[in-house]
Amino acid sequence: MLHIDHNSQKPIYQQIYEQMKQDIVIGNLPIGMRLTSTRALARELQIGRNTVENAYAQLVLEGYITSVASSGYVVNNLQFNLNQRTRGRVTTSEAGGVAVNREMANIRYNFQYGSLDAASFPDKLWRKYLAEVLDGPEAQEIHGDADVKGDLALRNQLMEYLYHSRGVNCQPEQIVICSGTQAALEMMIKIFPYGKKKVAMEEPCYNGASVIFRSNGFEILPIPVCEDGIELNELATSSARMVHIAPSHQFPMGSVMPIHKRIEILNWAQQHDNIIIEDDYDSEFRYNGRPIPALQSIDQYERVVYIGTFSKALSPGLRMAYMILPTWLLPAYQERFTGYQCTVPLLEQKILARFMEEGHWEKHVRKICLSQKKKHDILIYAIKQTMGNKVRIYGHQAGLHILLEFLDGQQEDDLVRQALEYKIKVCPVSPFWLNKQGYRNHALILGYGMMPERDIPRAVEMLSRAWFG
């Protein structure tokens, strides 16, 4: 039974999310259980349906539940034994890695990928626009239901920004604001127009995407990644109707797809009436030359579904991404999502729209890129100085991480353990491989977005000592 405290400063959707998450972890909501529909739960709790949908959306994003066609939401099978959990307070380790676990309390240097130092967030400007929205004529709007595609002002700003920064061609009605990349993929899957549910994915790939495809009944076809992106010959001979790629900075390998391969994959999609999902997750961070235009920018056939995020340059905690649909998919989207509300809080959308409208987003991106380039250069230099020809660096032209290959064949598990002995967190690559048998387990990911610049040389020196003596 959910208890809602209307006097709490904690948002109601967050209260629902936290209580349901705890019930899933300790087994009160068993695997496979169908949850109460958003409409029925909203009626039972006497709150807005949008509030319940926000809570469910967060549970979907974190993998606790799955949206199943014609069945609503069901509880997922988590990767730990629920029966061994006590029925007391849920600790961070019991939350399946959602929060920082106990081990992290002893970490001195954290090379976690995909996040920025909290100090990089524009707090003062965010508070300024928060106050302006709450005190201005838009204040009444934030208490109502948002357009399912998101705030129009934000979509207009995105259209302009993406055209100038990534060459993306679209209109505001093609843009859908989503609560994260996984939420965007969930939406795309719901309007997938073909009967054969087969998707090709890069090998290795972003595992947050593969989880979504699997949970929605897709057969995943792993396609190897070369130094210049996905292997097109294997893709061409596959039976995939859709492919998920990151052509401008592949994760985790860091490869960049050149123009001739971009044209080839667009031709493949056009000739076979297939769909390309372009995940442009950290396109802002390019350190040599200008950012490469998006694949969508040269798509004459409207085969590309473009997905981007504010998480990398602003904050993962913001939970805001966007999807740009080809015009031919808009009728299916409209039919499928009529009656839905946007899962991103309207207040945050309006703050971000103002932030962009007054030119602060582009200034912020430039500032972040400069600071990350400094960290990137210091990291590369430190590795070359301390590890020399014992390692090979991949993916160092862009992004917020590098991939480090160990040429003497050290094993991933040993490398992670040795780093932890020096109180340093590094990230394994194995979780991103679909076919574990084909994985060469002598590489690691070093993210530097969260690392203070001054700590990088010392951290790398200690890693070299941990790994090479």
Give dist(CA 282, CA 254) in Å, integer. 11
Q: Number of structural domains, the chain?
A: 3
Of all residues in the chain, what percent carry a pLDDT higher than 90?
52
Q: Are residues 208 and 297 in the same domain?
A: yes
Q: Are residues 109 and 136 in the same domain?
A: no
Q: pLDDT, tens digit, for every residue of 352-405?
A: 999 999 999 999 999 998 999 999 999 999 999 999 999 999 887 778 899 999
Tell me what pLDDT residue 14 has: 84
Residue 136 lies in a domain: yes
Give dist(CA 277, CA 308) in Å, integer. 11
Q: Are residues 354 and 374 in the same domain?
A: no
Domain that holds residue 234: 123-359
User: Residue 235 in contact with residue 200, Cβ under 8 Å?
Assistant: yes
The domain boundary, picked from 339, 359, 379, lies at 359
Q: Which residues contact 275 (CB under 8 A, 6 or more apart)?
A: 192, 241, 242, 243, 269, 303, 304, 305
Residue 1 lies in a domain: no
Tell me what pLDDT residue 463 has: 97
Q: Nearest 5°: CA angle at 191, between 141 and 346?
A: 15
Q: Are residues 370 and 303 in the same domain?
A: no
Does 7 score more than 80 pLDDT? no
Q: Are residues 108 and 185 in the same domain?
A: no
CATH code of the domain covering residue 51: 1.10.10.10
Q: Are strands 275-279 and 242-245 parallel, antiparallel or unpaired?
A: parallel
- 137: burial class by Cβ within 10 Å (0-12, 13-18, 19+)? exposed
User: Residue 51 in contact with residue 39, Cβ under 8 Å?
Assistant: no
Tell me what pLDDT residue 391 has: 95
Residue 3 lies in a domain: no
Q: Are strands 229-230 and 72-75 parallel, antiparallel or unpaired?
A: unpaired
Q: Are residues 112 and 241 in the same domain?
A: no
Q: Are residues 290 and 303 in the same domain?
A: yes
Residue type (1 letter), 317: G
Q: Which residues are 403's β-sheet partners?
A: 394, 445
Q: Are residues 288 and 405 in the same domain?
A: no
Residue type (1 letter), 460: V
CATH code of the domain covering residue 114: 3.90.1150.10
Residue 250 vs residues 84, 202, 235: alpha-carbon distances, Å: 38, 8, 16
Mean pLDDT of 13-20: 88
User: Residue 466 in contact with residue 437, Cβ under 8 Å?
Assistant: no
Tell me what pLDDT residue 92 has: 37
Q: Which residues contact 40 (CB under 8 A, 6 or more apart)?
A: none
The domain boundary, picked from 330, 359, 388, lies at 359
Q: Are residues 66 and 130 in the same domain?
A: no
Give dist(CA 333, CA 352) in Å, integer. 25
Q: Are residues 340 and 279 in the same domain?
A: yes
Residue 174 lies in a domain: yes
Residue 110 lies in a domain: yes
pTM for this predicted structure: 0.77
Mean pLDDT of 53-58: 84
Q: pLDDT, tens digit, for every residue of 68-116?
A: 766 688 888 764 333 333 333 333 333 444 444 455 568 899 999 877 8
Q: Are residues 143 and 289 in the same domain?
A: yes
Q: Which residues are 404's β-sheet partners?
A: 393, 444
Q: Are residues 193 and 293 in the same domain?
A: yes
The domain boundary, picked from 307, 340, 359, lies at 359
Within 10 Å of residue 280's Cβ, how many Cβ atoms? 24
Tell me what pLDDT residue 78 has: 60
Give dist(CA 101, CA 92) in Å, integer. 5
Does 182 score more than 70 pLDDT? yes
Mean pLDDT of 188-202: 94
Residue 85 lies in a domain: no
Does 56 score more than 80 pLDDT? yes
The overall average pLDDT reported for the chain is 87
Tell me what pLDDT residue 60 has: 78
Beta strands in 153-269 (DSSP E): 175-178, 198-203, 219-226, 229-230, 242-245
Query: DSSP string spanning 109-176?
Result: EE--SS---GGGS-HHHHHHHHHHHHHSGGGGGGGSPPPTT--HHHHHHHHHHHHHHH-----GGGEE
Residue 89 lies in a domain: no
CATH code of the domain covering residue 179: 3.40.640.10
Residue 181 lies in a domain: yes
Tell me what pLDDT residue 79 has: 43
Give dist(CA 80, CA 33) in Å, integer. 17
